[in-house]
Each structure stands twice: as structure tokens, then as C-alpha cells.
Amino acid sequence: MVDRVIAINPGATSTKIGYFENDTLIFKKEFTYAYDEIAKYDSIMEQYDFRFKDIVDWLESNHMSKGSLDAAVGRGGLLPPVNAGAYVVDDAIIDCLTYHPVLEHASNLGASLARGIAEKFGATNCEAYIYDPVTVDQMDDIARISGVAEIERKSIGHVLNMRAVCMQIAEEELKKPYEESNLIVAHIGGGSSASVHKYGRMIDLISDDEGLFSTERSGGLPIKEVIPMCYEYTQKEMTDLVRKRAGLVSYFGTNDARIVEERANNGDEKARLVLEAMAYQIAKTIGELATVLYGEVDGIILTGGLAHSKMITDLVKERTSFLAPVYFVPGEAELLALAKGARRVLRGEEEAQKFQGYRKETMVNA
């Protein structure tokens, strides 16, 4: 039996969609929007109508109609902390993402778009889902302690892609289930985060403001240097400084690592030093997470856009391969990850959860 799934991944100025039959991508489309077109909307959710129309028109041009889909799955938005896996899109999720999101982000549209497409093109019993939202939280309690009582460490990162590549490497390379594997994965790109996965649970995560710097973001900074700057700049200016104008942008005025790597290869010593420092911090982060597993690591995975860089991946591997084999899964396959998540529900391998909001007692802690 063929499972027919549409996956939808809204971005800041784009909407990516893919139609899958089982795990095979049949066709995909990326709608791109000018910044000025997006900026005229006061909120993310106000963009629903035109994004939905684009998807509908395109699916109809590909001869889709009522009954063409078994499931629709959207990129999970910034809900309060939730467990990993699939959630049925219901009124509670839509209400939370519309009126009470953790942050305004284009992925908050994923649930609404999936539900709309399921209703228009779905077969009988077709459901809409979200899968592995950005705010998946399976952290052990010990990992939440920050050192300041008023601040709790939070799990926010590239969860969808990180869990997907962990499942892939467990199956294809380790030849055992994800639920029996100990893995460390670093998603490195415009923003970077890293996580540790113990027997199918993501028990700790280092976010893009805590550790490794990236092409655009600062990572962790010496706080004694940061505090005085907070009195010199506005909150928005500081946020832009560490999240949009940091990393390679800060040193070279570009977020394109290929340009910086070319400069390094042509003898630019500053470019080489900064790229080596980036790899150094990635490796340090991996080493930090290895202690969570007491060194019992089955594999290390590098994924995201920077994993295309042989210079970066070779440097990280040099420093970390003594811990475990290092695997590279460059780029991201988030549409496929979404589709596979929905298929696990369709096949009965995973039960879709119902969103209840954040209740600490519902979180799984081993």
C-alpha cells in the first residue's frame, strides 16, 4: 500500500513543499517571496491566505484533488516545550501558534497550512500533523541547571533534522535502532546547534547562543564583555549583533563560508584562522556532549550547510574521531524527515500525540 504524504516547510521568505509516495519524493516546489512582500504583514499568521493559495494552485496544477492525500505534515512551530514526534493538528495547536507562540517565526504557519491542505486534498480519515517542532524538550533535569536560579537552560535547536539524521545513521551505519544508539550530532550552518541522543531521547542540547559560533551567530560569549555592551546598545541592536551580524559576518562581512574558505585556500591567514576556530568550537561542543554519555558514543554526525565544507569537516574529524566514528550528512532533508514522521504514524509505528501545552510532569525523564 502506498502512503501519499505532502510535507510543508514554511521559511521566512519561502515555502517548501514536497509530495511523497512512501519515502520517494515525487515532486517538490519552493515558493520564494521578496522581503518587501512579507514585511507588509503585521504578523506571521496573516501570511496564511496567500501562502495557502500558492500551494493549492500548484497542487491542482499537478492534478491533485479531494482524496489525493493520506496525510499532510507541516514544520512544527514554536510551541511551549513538547515531546518529540508527531502531533495531530487541532484547535489547541492552532490557537497556541496564532496567539501564544514562544517566538514569532515562519514555522508557526506549518500546522495551519497542513490542516488546510489535508481538508482540501485529503482522503477519508486524512489527518494533519506537525513533527519534531523546534521546541522539542527531552532534556534531563540536570541539563536544565544554568548556574543562575532565575535562568533555566532550554531545548531549542534544529531538532527535526538532527533527530532524522540520527535515525538514518543508526539504521544505515550502526545497523541498529535509534532507540539503542548513543549519538552526538552537530547541525552547522547559518545558525548552529548540537545535541546528544541516548537510546532514542535527546537528553541535552547546546543552542546557538551557548556554544559553537556559526556563519551568522555568535554562540557563547564572554559574559563580562557582553554586559557593558548591553548598556551601549538597545535590545534589538544587541539581538541583531549576536544573531545576524556575528560569526563569519562579523569577521568578513559575509555569511557564505565558501567565500571565506576560498580566501583561506588562497593564503588569507585570517580566513584560515577563523575557519579553524569555527571547527575548533564545533569539536569542543562535541567533546562537551561526549561527557554526558560518559564517553560511550556510537557515532558523531555533522549535518547542515557547513557540513558540505571539506575543510571544516576534516578539521572537526581530526579532533573528535578518537571518541567515535564521524559521519557526514551535509545539508538538510527536512521535507523527507517530515514525510517519514507522518508515515510512521500511518503505519502504526508511532502514535500521534495530542498537544496539552507544557506540563513538566508529562515530559519523559529517564
Determine how many CB atoms are found less than 10 A away from the CB of residue 272.
Answer: 17
Q: What is the mean pLDDT of residues 317-333?
A: 95
**Residue span of the structural domain in which 215 resides:** 159-330
117 compared with 333, residue with greater pLDDT: 117
Separation between Cα atoms, residue 264 and residue 124, nearest integer Å: 57
Question: Is 143 part of any domain?
Answer: no
Contact indicator for 112, 45 with CB cutoff of 8 Å: yes
What CATH code is carried by the domain that includes residue 320? 3.30.420.40
| 174/306 same-domain check | yes
Give the N- to C-terminal CA distance of the chain in Å, as an integer.
37
Domain count for the chain, please give it: 2
Q: What is the mean pLDDT of residues 318-342?
A: 95
Q: Which residues, 6 or more positions from 112, have their beta carbon under 8 angstroms from its beta carbon?
A: 45, 48, 52, 74, 89, 94, 97, 98
| 126/200 same-domain check | no
C-alpha 245 chain-centroid distance: 21
Mean pLDDT of the chain: 92
Q: What is the mean pLDDT of residues 213-241?
A: 94
Nearest to 135 by CA among 203, 80, 202: 80
| Percent above pLDDT 70 for the chain | 97
What is the predicted pLDDT for the residue at 41?
87
Encode pLDDT of 126-175 as tens digits.
999 999 988 899 999 999 999 999 999 988 888 999 999 999 999 999 99
| 199/173 same-domain check | yes
Model pTM score: 0.85
Nearest to 91 by CA among 339, 342, 354, 343: 354
| 113/99 same-domain check | yes
| 262/348 same-domain check | no
Encode pLDDT of 192-208 as tens digits.
999 999 999 999 999 98
C-alpha 76 chain-centroid distance: 10
Nearest to 128 by CA among 115, 116, 117: 115
Burial of 221 (0-12, 13-18, 19+ CB in 10 A): middle
| 75/9 same-domain check | yes
Contact indicator for 364, 139 with CB cutoff of 8 Å: no
Nearest to 162 by CA among 139, 193, 138, 141: 193
Return the minimum-mean-pLDDT range out of 50-54, 66-70, 80-84, 232-236: 80-84
According to DSSP, residue 209 is labeled T
Tell me how far CA of residue 79 lies from CA of 7, 156, 266, 321, 355, in angstroms.
19, 11, 45, 36, 9
Q: Is a pLDDT exceeding 70 seen at residue 365?
A: no
Q: Is a pLDDT exceeding 60 seen at residue 358?
A: no
